[in-house]
Structure 1
Amino acid sequence: MATSISFVGLTCFLLSLCLVCSLKEGYAFEELRESYAESYLTHTFEVSSLFASSICNHSTKANERESTFRVVDKYGPCYQPNQHRSVVSPSLTEIIRSDRARIYSIHARLSKNSGRRDHIVEPNSLSIPVKDGRAFRTTNYLVTVGLGTPKKDLSLVLDTGSDLTWTQCQPCTKCYKQTEPLFNRTQSSTYVNVSKTDPVCAYAKRPGTVPPGADTLCFYRIAYGDGSISLGFFSKETLTMSAAEKINSFLFGCGTDNTGEFDLEAGILGLNQENASIVFQTAQKYNKIFSYCLPSSASSTGHLTFGSQTPAPANIIYTKLVAQKSPSYGLDLIGIGLGGTKLNISESIFTTPGTIIDSGTVFTYLPPVAYTTFRDAFRVAMSAYPRITGPSADIDTCYDFSKNTSVTVPVISFFFKDGTVVGMPGKSSLITYNSTLSCLGFSEYDDDDDESIIGNLVQRTVEVVYDVAGQRIGFAPNGCT
């Protein structure tokens, strides 16, 4: 049975025609100035579609574009190293723990004067929190890039929260185990160390001290929310995107001392709004425009594309970026809705702390008041299905769909200050761990002072277009299948 969403269009409502419209394999994307009509938008899908298969289903849309990387889930069959070994996905509790570590880092970075005791200050960098968690043993999405001459393929985490792209390098003082061979800088004809006196060295977050005998070279040091660290040479190298697309003298971190809870991946591809990110390094070529589509499951592929697309994605709508949240990507969220109806939550709950969208956080996090209202409304909408106890207090709304062949879930709507309303398919509101455990992929913060985060789970199958030069973000349905 094909995925489908039926709704009464707003235009139909305004004209009092009461016509019923439907979108096959889609959902509502309307740019509205008023609230939705009183119709209830739902998303019906087969329960079997919640689970990944053992075979990789490739999205064809990535093949139609230049400057494109294929995006895969690192725990699924589309990640080639997994074809030769068994891989255990993290539990829901581990995902939440990892998310918490990440969002503490995000909030520390966004807050200039947090004053919290659980923060330490790194030399020449911003505050980094020390919290329990596994920052990379979660549902992270990988892209394979070519580095060096001759090029070596490396799988990096797509991360809108990071600036510096880095990978582990030989010769290595301390490196964690990864699936692909370490990048050997001595075997590349295009590798160049950045001098300490080079102006671009200022892009690196430098350690307080450098290794003995390396006083003339530029070093970087990155610390993450769980205490994981990457340290090494700040360098230049050729980055290969495709046979026709190469970036010469690309600045990256060549990590020779890497410790922490890293797993499988060879490093990070930084996509935020700082000078060292690939977005800013390729600004002249791609005009600070990139987009991605995260796959619907671990057995599907998505894509990461740089530059504007012609034609533009179908049915795309844009909302403004909030400059004050830079280097993260801030949005002017003022409300959230279910089934097309905006919930009765004060706009200040969202606008006072603000909101960001993030590719590395799995769940979507809301302030306590907003989350409780949203969760309770979701439970009412899902009252036809048996609710079960979740694996932890942070995951408190779970269902057993094992006796159902299909499920109908309300569409999730995000309401923005400029009048834009973006509808996400109800399926993307669920995180499924096994045949008897599917949970709401939303959670709450400890207090109302923290920014909301729109995580990657709810973004699945949507083409998210980051027009940094134009200070806007676009959303288009059916970006990948």
Structure 2
Amino acid sequence: MKYSIGTPPFETYGIADTGSDVTWTQCEPCTDCFPQSLPVFDPKHSKSYKTASCDSDACALVGSSAGECSNRNVCQYQLTYGDNSQSVGDVATDTLTIGDSSFKNVVFGCGHQNSVTFSGNVSGIVGLGNSNISIVKQLDKDVGGKFAYCLSSQPDSKSHISFGKDAIVKGTGAVSTPFDINPEQSTFYYLSLESISVGDQSFPLKQSVSSNVGGRRAGIKKTSANGNIIIDSGTTLTMVPSDTFESLKSELTKQIPKTPIDDPQGQFGLCYSTSDKIEVPKIVAHFSGTDLELSPRGSFLEVEEGISCFTIIPGSISIFGNLSEVDYLVGYDLKA
């Protein structure tokens, strides 16, 4: 996601991540940083940059991600992600510019020690989760809890993200499903995925991730369904319980008239040679109140030249990843 930080605006890119909250970018002086092809943000060149003191509201907003107070009384943050990526640095405020709109005093992380598994034109993360430090919540009076993105499956086509009144998904074919929040993990958007079907065969998912998922905020209607899968734009693959995955794999091998081959990366559960075109059967995610047919371009991915693999894998946590979201405009309304 392209955005700018500072005055004058310094343009950079971050991974738009609905599965985390804190927005951070690599900052000079970069004592231990990953290589990035873009210039690194230098806070000395921004007139509006301020570090947050340890007793400030900005420091309190970081919450459980706060690290120790520095000897200069600067609030620190410390983040570790599921793939073991890490970022440590100063909590700060500065002007954030998205598109033509600028927002003053946005709390973010100025990362001085960072190690990540991603690469490319990226300087950090844009946190779009549900807790108060996220960009969506910090800009609430301007964007009203709404954002939407369209992830392209084509490498030569741009993806798009929008906020506020431009982020309303409507029209023919638009469908919706409620999300749940676990009060103990307020970052995550839990959906209720009842089953996944391949062709006319349907395979259920267990309905509840834990007894306390589904505590909804005031003003949002409680549904009978508790969430059992996290929708996460920052995770590539979709993960489901192993019994559900094995059922999907078995059915796919029946419906795809080709012989599976070994996964060269040891990460995927079902792969085929692409020497002949794979005819992907219709795969539908059946959410609470709606059905979503997954894009064939996101369901199988060419992981190496000539080898294509199924992008749903078994996992200990159920996650609806970004490849299952491609080719759709996916909207979030935190106040629906």
State TM-score, norm by structure 1.
0.61
**What is the CA distance between 1:261 and its match in structure 2?**
4.1
**What is the CA distance between 1:392 and its match in structure 2?**
4.8
CA contact (8 A) 2:272 2:309 kept: yes
Deviations 1:422-462 (A, max 9, x none): 111223210112442011111112xxxx4321111111111
CA distance in 2, matches of 1:256, 1:310: 33
> Paired residue for 1:371, among 245, 260, 264?
245
Aligned to 1:387: 260
| Aligned partner of residue 323 in structure 1, secondary structure | strand
CA contact (8 A) 1:322 1:331 kept: yes
| Aligned partner of residue 108 in structure 2, secondary structure | strand
Alignment of 1:46-445 (within 5 A): 143-204=1-62, 205-208=65-68, 210-212=69-71, 214-215=72-73, 217-242=74-99, 244-261=100-117, 263-264=119-120, 265-309=122-166, 312-314=169-171, 315-324=173-182, 326-339=186-199, 341-345=200-204, 347=205, 349-352=206-209, 354-383=228-257, 385-404=258-277, 407-417=278-288, 419-445=289-315
Deviations 1:83-133 (A, max 9, x none): xxxxxxxxxxxxxxxxxxxxxxxxxxxxxxxxxxxxxxxxxxxxxxxxxxx
CA distance in 2, matches of 1:396, 1:172: 39
> Paired residue for 1:456, among 318, 322, 325?
322
CA distance in 1, matches of 2:279, 2:61: 48
Describe the shift of the 1:370–1:227 C-alpha distance in structure 2 as closer, same or farther (beyond 3 A). Answer: closer
CA distance in 1, matches of 2:102, 2:113: 28
CA distance in 2, matches of 1:453, 1:310: 23
**What is the CA distance between 1:274 and its match in structure 2?**
1.0
CA distance in 2, matches of 1:458, 1:308: 25
CA contact (8 A) 1:350 1:452 kept: no
CA distance in 1, matches of 2:117, 2:294: 32
CA distance in 2, matches of 1:278, 1:387: 43
Describe the shift of the 1:293–1:260 C-alpha distance in structure 2 as closer, same or farther (beyond 3 A). Answer: closer
Describe the shift of the 1:410–1:355 C-alpha distance in structure 2 as closer, same or farther (beyond 3 A). Answer: same
**What amino acid does structure 2 have at the position aligned with 1:248?**
K
**What is the CA distance between 1:279 and its match in structure 2?**
0.5
| Aligned partner of residue 161 in structure 1, secondary structure | coil
**What is the CA distance between 1:231 and its match in structure 2?**
1.6
CA contact (8 A) 2:6 2:49 kept: yes
**What amino acid does structure 2 have at the position aligned with 1:422?**
L
| Aligned partner of residue 327 in structure 1, secondary structure | strand
Give the aligned length. 313
CA contact (8 A) 1:357 1:453 kept: yes
Describe the shift of the 1:403–1:422 C-alpha distance in structure 2 as closer, same or farther (beyond 3 A). Answer: closer
**What amino acid does structure 1 have at the position aligned with 2:28?**
Q
| Aligned partner of residue 125 in structure 2, secondary structure | strand
**Structure 1, unaligned stretches of length 5 or more?**
1-142, 471-481
**What is the CA distance between 1:402 and its match in structure 2?**
1.8
| Aligned partner of residue 380 in structure 1, secondary structure | helix
**What amino acid does structure 1 have at the position aligned with 2:303?**
Y
Which is further off, 181-190 or 191-200? Answer: 191-200
Describe the shift of the 1:169–1:375 C-alpha distance in structure 2 as closer, same or farther (beyond 3 A). Answer: same
CA distance in 2, matches of 1:229, 1:431: 27
Describe the shift of the 1:262–1:310 C-alpha distance in structure 2 as closer, same or farther (beyond 3 A). Answer: closer
**What amino acid does structure 1 have at the position aligned with 2:163?**
F
| Aligned partner of residue 291 in structure 2, secondary structure | strand
Q: Which one has more relative contact order, counting CA pairs under 8 Å at least 6 apart?
A: 1
CA distance in 2, matches of 1:199, 1:318: 35
CA distance in 2, matches of 1:344, 1:232: 45
CA distance in 1, matches of 2:156, 2:91: 35
**What is the CA distance between 1:298 and its match in structure 2?**
2.2
CA distance in 1, matches of 2:140, 2:91: 20
Which is further off, 282-291 or 388-397? Answer: 388-397
Give the percent of matched residue pairs that are identical in Structure 1 and Structure 2: 31
State TM-score, norm by structure 2.
0.86
CA distance in 1, matches of 2:27, 2:248: 46
**What is the CA distance between 1:257 and its match in structure 2?**
2.4
Aligned to 1:54: none
CA contact (8 A) 1:334 1:351 kept: no
**What amino acid does structure 2 have at the position aligned with 1:157?**
I
**What is the CA distance between 1:403 and its match in structure 2?**
3.4
Aligned to 2:225: none
**What is the CA distance between 1:313 and its match in structure 2?**
3.8
**Structure 2, unaligned stretches of length 5 or more?**
211-227
CA contact (8 A) 2:153 2:297 kept: no
CA contact (8 A) 1:163 1:276 kept: yes
**What is the CA distance between 1:195 and its match in structure 2?**
2.1
